[in-house]
Structures are given as structure tokens and as C-alpha cells.
Amino acid sequence: MGLVGELLALPLAPARGTLWVLRQVVAEAERQYYDPSVIRAELARLTELLEAGEIDEVEFDRREDELLTRLGYGVRQGVAREPGASTGSGAAPEENRTATR
């Protein structure tokens, strides 16, 4: 970029640094959210709640579906396998599917 370009861009350095930090925080949050071991632990806890009678079958099914969707989406996107990986467009799993008919 050259010396003049670097000097002109210097006032933007704090904003670029802040954006980098935000990207790192989002990547770590996604990694934790889609971590298979965390999701399995939540599924086990959900089963315990059902067996203890604290939630009913309908609530169990709804929450289990959410967890299984999260598990499948994270694996498809590679979030759980590659720390810091982005989910790409951030679109929902249904939006990323292609028609196979």
C-alpha cells in the first residue's frame, strides 16, 4: 500500500482491530454452540428432565429436535471440527440445501 496509504489508513486501525476481535468472539461462540459434546450433554439432561417428569413429551420432542438440528448443522458446516471456522453465509440449514428431485 505504501507509506502514504498506511498513514491515511492509520485512523482506521482501532476499527479494524475491533472488527477482528468481534469475528474471533463470534467464531468461538459458534464453536461452543455447535460442539457435539455440549449438545450430547444437553440431550442427556433433557432425557433426565423427561424421566423426572419436569417436562412433558411435547416439550421433550421440541427441544430434542432443536438440539439434533444444531448437531447436524454444526457438523455439516464444519464448525465443530474446525475451531474458529465460520458458518459461511449464516443461512439456516434448510436454505443451504439443494433440490434433489
User: What pLDDT is stored for residue 81 in this prediction?
Assistant: 47
**Amino acid (1-letter code) at residue 11:** P
* Domain extent listing, the chain: 33-73
pLDDT tens per residue, the chain (101 residues)?
A: 688 888 888 888 888 899 999 999 999 999 999 999 999 999 999 999 999 999 999 999 999 999 999 988 766 766 544 444 444 444 444 444 444 43
User: What pLDDT is stored for residue 2 in this prediction?
Assistant: 82
Contact 64, 43 (CB under 8 A): yes
Q: Hey, how many other C-beta atoms are within 10 angstroms of the C-beta on 72?
A: 13
Contact 85, 79 (CB under 8 A): yes
User: What pLDDT is stored for residue 1 in this prediction?
Assistant: 63
User: What pLDDT is stored for residue 83 in this prediction?
Assistant: 45
Task: Return the closest-CA partner of residue 14 out of 26, 22, 5.
Answer: 22
Contact 34, 73 (CB under 8 A): yes
